Amino acid sequence: MLDHDLKLLDSFERIYQVINREVNNLQEVKLVYVEMIRQWEKEIRSYARILEDISLPSRLILEHILDLKLKSGQMAVEAESINQGFAPINYVGVEEFGVIKISTGSIELIWRDADYNYLLYPNKAELRTIDEKAVIRLSFSYSFGQKHLQKFAGVLSSPQLLYIHPTLEKFTEQE
CATH code for the domain of 98: 2.30.29
Q: Is the confidence at residue 15, as pLDDT, over 60?
A: yes
Range of the domain at 31: 1-52
In angstroms, the CA 112 to CA 94 distance is 9
Residues paired with residue 136 on neighbouring β-strands, in sequence order: 79, 127
Closest CA to 167 of 124, 134, 130: 124
**Does one domain contain both 17 and 79?**
no
Point out the domain boundary residue: 52, 69, 95.
52
> One-letter amino acid identity for 140?
F
Q: Phi and psi of 167, rounded to 5°?
A: -60, -45
**Does residue 71 surpass a pLDDT of 90?**
yes
pTM score of the predicted model:
0.90
pLDDT at 175 over 60: no
How confident is residue 174, by pLDDT bands cut at 50, 70 and 90?
A: low
Number of domains in the chain: 2
- 35 and 62 fall within a common domain: no
Considering the domain architecture, whether residues 60 and 112 belong to the same structural domain is answered as yes
pLDDT band at 1 (very low <50, low <70, confident <90, very high): low
**Do residue 40 and residue 110 come from a single domain?**
no
Average the pLDDT over 93-105 and give the result.
95
| pLDDT, position 45 | 94
